[in-house]
Chain A
Amino acid sequence: MGQAAGLSKLLRKIRWEMDAFSWSQLIIVLASFTAFLIVPLGLVVVRSFYSSSGGFSFYWLQTILTDPFYFPLRLKLLNRFPFISLEGIRGSLYEVVKYQTAGGEETIVLLTGWDMGVIPNSLVVATFTTLFSTVLGFTLAFIFAKYRFPGSEVLRIVSLIPLLSTPFVGAIGLKKMIVADGVLNVLFYDMLHLLPFKIEITGLPAVILVQTLLFYPIVMLNSYTALISVDPTLEEQAINMGASGFRLFRTVTLPLATPGVEAGALLVFILSLEDLGTPIVFKGTTAEKVLTFQIFNRIFTPAGLISQEATTLAMILLVISGLVFVGVRRYVSLKKYAMLSKGGTWRPKRRKLSPVVTLLVYIFILGVLFFATLPHIGVTLLAFAKQWGPTLLPSSFTLDNFIAVLSDEEASRCIMNSLVYSSIATLFMVVLGVSAAYLVSRKKSLPGIGALDLLVTIPIAVPGIAVATGLFLTYLGTPLSPTISGAPLLIASYTVRKIPFTVRAVFSGLEQTDKTLDEVAWTVGASRTRTFFSIVMPMILLNVLAGGMLSFIYSMSEVSTGIVVGDANHRDAPMTWKMYDMLFHGLAGGTFQPAALGFLLMTLQFIFIVGANLLLRKRATALIGV
């Protein structure tokens, strides 16, 4: 009786809240996500437990977990005591190579890192990247949030530059800096004689370095927002009660900022795990020995099917990031995001620094910024370089790389493909994203809305290569098959993967417009549909535009699905595949032409992100943050 009454009340509530228009919004969102995210990821999981004959089996999981190439940890019994042994760990942290040159003997210290097997490698890289990014990002955020010094605003903005980093660009640019005859050695060894030997960073350590420089702004943004959202009166109170210095920091400031820092750190962990672009650039070294690269590398069987091994690896990657996401989840939902980005309502108190400390702060920040912008400087120089030997700067500059890229038939076709796919995907993202954001913002009291919120924000934490694998598993051999046309899967993948940017921008716009503005329209006779189009949409138009721009540009730079589809179907490949292809299969030009492509993409990204943020002004501080 009580249950029946509860159920009929629930049905009445649903009928009350959901008109035909809301239903159609909900259904298109659910249908798209089911078809292009849930089913594909489900298939990844299910297929990884198929035996070759089609039945349920742990064969592949077992094969992978017992292969030292993937997983060298073994549980052993020694005199009946269990202990963990490591088998098949290869390499050493560094190697010293000496060779003769005209000027005598030269020593290079190669920082290569151990190879611990693919799965531990991925986790170790993600752990170190997270650690370094967090320390770096939080320190910067703390300085910018708590202290005032000349130029601090400008420096704060500049330190966000890595967010503009396009796939490959960071890695290509930085690689040119850190190899044996790279810019850093030229500068510090050859010219300044500050080093007793050359240092080359390569393999997994290089991945960690690149990723740290790429991702620290995410922690920085989240920490900064959290720090300036801390009610300054709380700190004042603590000071009045006698807390000061480190104690104040440890007992008051840090705990209050922790949720923001954690959110950023966990996101970095996932982004590091799922990054495919960086390992690809360092192909040929231990950087290959990470999950994403291995999945990518063996996704197709010689027969052009999706390999079980790759599927199982994708499942493992998916499970690991899923577990981490359970931790992030509390923070990345739209509601939490809105609260985070609403921070900054306080006028944060910023202390002035003594001249000496100011100097130290400058040295620290400029040092960080030097490294953080190295990739961008590197890629820019490469893009305009005619030749670049072991010297600080290219020996001569040219526009030939751009001309070559733009006159290359395949390259321009790929650029065109990317533009077309991203535009169409943006259209979908706007329709779906606005629908989802509207439902989450305006129908909070409906049961299940939390799940919808989760569904449209979770793609941030889903590894792209797992989505790509899933899409292939689901659609290979169907009319949507990428072998027929690359467009459907690429557009679908862009849409589900990059929609969080649109959803967030639109959601924050909706949260800033009072619900009574909708309601008053109903009272004067406008149906909900009419209200949506004539009242709600005009008020959030800027947010929709900004969100669409962000989603567009992040679609342009999508890597995982892009290069997998591109490999399967060159004709319909996007720009990111072309960059990848030129890096490794290109003929003339070496890294110059992919750098030119990267430079184009980077410029486009710069324009779009700055544009989107100008549109929204102060309305959304953390918008570009992932």
Chain B
Amino acid sequence: MLRIEDLSIRFKAGTPDEVCVLDGIQLQVKEGSFVVVIGTNGSGKSTLLNAVAGVFPPERGRIEVAGQDVTRWPEHRRARLIGRVFQNPFSGTAPHMTVAENLALAARRGLARGLRWALLPGLMRQMKDRVGELNMGLEDRLESEMGSLSGGQRQALTLLMASWVRPQLLLLDEHTAALDPKAADQVIRLTHQIVTRDRLTTLMVTHSMAQAVHLGDRLIMMNKGQIIFDAEGMAKKSLRVEDLMARFEEVRRDEQLDVSAAKMLKALYI
């Protein structure tokens, strides 16, 4: 469903601050697979998701979604295949438009937009039903401005918007990180419900080890723009929080070794 070959991205290429944020990523995700992505801050998780979504063109490599080579497609064209939820609850919705208008925009994802009424009666009925399924009482607030809702409510609606038209691929970038624990819990339960019901192929970045262990059927760990650990099937099921913590510790130790080795080399040769 998703196939990434030798994907590399550098920022500020050709300047002294050049950073290689993605370094030859190879990844294949099967249809219906739910992949959890973890990694330290700055390891390139968001960049990986953004590259798949088409926010910036890759320096090298190929991206294929649902059998189509999308490497050269602009962001809005890839949106036909891809649904997204961002870390910041403000990023996924238009605050001064009503809940219904936001949902109506999402209902046309990947479809032509014409001079027809945005809020058609049939669509409004459908909204009542599907928002009602969230069990958050939001079906009575379709006429409210999006900006008047809480972060958790907005994130739940963004999730509904991303999956309103069934996406071939769902990208979630730490979509619960900015929420309080209770709201985060609710959004995670909703994520699980939608992904399993619609059997969506999903990439979910998270900083929560509990989520990483309990959700998904595959886990990848990133460090310095590379995938350094990949567990699938039984190996993923048997992972515990302690295993992941040990992995992170290992990465940290290696890094310290790197730093001290670099110091030693400097001392010797410079």
Say if A and B assemble together.
no
Chain A positions within 8 Å of B, measured between CB atoms, are none
